[in-house]
Amino acid sequence: MTTFITTPIFYASGDPHTGHAYSGIIADIVHRFRQLCGEETILITGTDEHGQKIAATAQAHNTDVATFVEDKAADFAALWPQLAVQPDVIIRTTQTEHKAHVSKVWQTLAGKGDIYPGTYAGQYCVACEQYYPARELDGDCCPVHKKPVTTVEEASYLFRLEHYRQRLLDYYQSHPSLITPSHFQDAIIEQLKSGPLESLSVSRVNNAWGIRVPNDSNHTIYVWIDALFSYITAIQLSGHNSAAIAGAVHVLGKDILKFHALYWPAFLLALGLPLPEKLVVHGWWTIEGEKIAKSNPATAVNPGVFSEQLTADGLRYALVRQKPLSRDGNLALDELKAAINADLANNLANLVKRNNTLVLKHFQGELAATTKNQLDDECGQLLASCGQQIEQVIRAYRQYELYQVTLTLKQILDQLNTFFHQRAPWLLGKGQDEQHVASTCFVVSNLLRHVALCYAPITPQLAVNILAEQGVDLTTAVLRSDIELHSVSINGAGSHFQRLH
């Protein structure tokens, strides 16, 4: 079965920032990990290009809205290569195929009576493109943007969310790890248990920039219906049918949990479609304590700038190394640099270079295969302990615990460095015999090959370079949890990661 890893589709109302980059990087890491395990995955990202907010922003820039979203979509598309994020499908909600798909979805839902005409009155935040119940407001302000909401009462089509409440509850209760981390799932279950769900307003009368409601051109379809179904449009564009949504892993920020955990599965149930495999929910990055947001220019640094300063590998690594996925974290450049220098430059790249230099110098790059039984006890112990830790790394990847992945990889490298120093293979002929040195470098080389594979989803370029020196092609390599001991053939000893200043 194909797995579809998705990022949120980002509003084409501003420049990409590091919060967007983070979602893209997480999704790309999951995608690369699964591919490395031999699974078939497709990475989907895109831009959310309709709605009142985008039309107003384009107007404020004195730009025609179609041109405005075209430019923003191009900015997002240009960002991904700078971050080594490799999407297979970039979906735009202004695409013809998508608009036709959403109209069809609407007709099906309206035909079943799940969508019906009515009126809606409530407190609306234009920046979020959503109504807020009074209990979620911060005074009279939106809890996300901290800006006053507007009271809106207007004709609207409504979606009968309550009709699906029990089925949603049953589904979540019988699939306890659908949302990770689990406390987000607990919160959704509580909300589903707490009483009837209000019907959801799913059209707007005062917004011309959107997909028209079929047979009622006064209304446009609510941007969130439009946006969520882009996941399925993208699946269709990749040659699969809508039911393949069952294999979706949605990566998203906690700000948009409700849309993905309540509305999205309700729409899917209404259409008789299966529900996604997983929601991976992450926390927010702040800069000097302020949430990174396009509405706050001081925080909205282009992630391409960070990538230039830290390298794409460095930025990717630091973002997953600095905090557990679901927590919020503060982005401080000097802290990121310190972690990158300690872990990637010193602990990993430096060890690779020292080991490879010795193998080239003393063994012409070649070390014959040896079985575990032929190795001394110290080597055996190291292999056993690193083997267990590599299993932990793979398990953590599978559970989307990328922070744990980096911690365990760091522990492995600490062990490898300690082993290398204690065995002092550079003292060949000065106290260390050839057998001792050969087995030291043999074990270290083999473990570094596994370690580089484990790093590959996070730091792809660094992994490619390290593996190339062992003659391994990352595109055909498969990550397995058991340690295989191969003969070693080293063809270089480059400096793969320069310290950052």
* Least Cβ distance, residue 390 to ligand ME8 (angstroms): 29
Residue 132 near ligand ME8 by CB under 6 A: no
Instruction: Report the C-alpha gap between 394 and 386 in whole angstroms.
Output: 12
Q: For the residues of 175-217, what is the DSSP string, one character each?
A: STTSEESHHHHHHHHHHHHTSPPPPEE-EESS--SSPEETTEE
| Segments in 61-126 forming alpha helices (H) | 65-82, 96-111
Residue 48 near ligand ME8 by CB under 6 A: yes
Residue 227 near ligand ME8 by CB under 6 A: yes
Q: Looking at 3, 4, 5, 10, which residue binds ligand ME8 (CB under 6 A)?
A: 10
Residue 306 near ligand ME8 by CB under 6 A: no
Interface mask (CB under 6 A) for ligand ME8, residues 17-36, using x and -?
A: --xx-xx-------------
* Closer of 255 and 378 to ligand ME8 (Cβ): 255
* Least Cβ distance, residue 457 to ligand ME8 (angstroms): 19
Residue 49 near ligand ME8 by CB under 6 A: no
Query: What DSSP character marks residue 422?
Result: H
Instruction: Report the C-alpha gap between 408 and 362 in whole angstroms.
Output: 31
* Closer of 40 and 97 to ligand ME8 (Cβ): 97
Q: Using the rule CB under 6 A, give the single segment among 36-44, 174-182, 286-294, 393-401 that binds ligand ME8.
A: 286-294
- Closest alpha carbon to 52 in 174, 197, 208: 208
Q: Looking at 27, 161, 268, 292, which residue binds ligand ME8 (CB under 6 A)?
A: 292
Instruction: Report the C-alpha gap between 452 and 181 in whole angstroms.
Output: 27
- CA dist list (Å): 339 to 150, 313, 336: 45, 12, 5
Residue 77 near ligand ME8 by CB under 6 A: no
Q: Three-state SS for 476?
A: coil
Residues contacting 188, CB < 8 A, separation 6+: 172, 179, 257, 261, 262
The alpha carbons of the chain give a radius of gyration, in whole angstroms, of: 26
What per-residue string of b and e applies to 119-144 under the rule 16 or more CB within 10 Å gives b? ebebbbbbbbbbbbeeeeeeeeebeb
Residue 400 near ligand ME8 by CB under 6 A: no
Residue 253 near ligand ME8 by CB under 6 A: yes
* Closer of 252 and 447 to ligand ME8 (Cβ): 252
Residue 252 near ligand ME8 by CB under 6 A: yes
* Least Cβ distance, residue 253 to ligand ME8 (angstroms): 3
Residue 304 near ligand ME8 by CB under 6 A: no
Q: Which residues bind ligand ME8 (CB under 6 A)?
A: 8-11, 19-20, 22-23, 48, 227-228, 252-253, 255-256, 284-285, 291-293
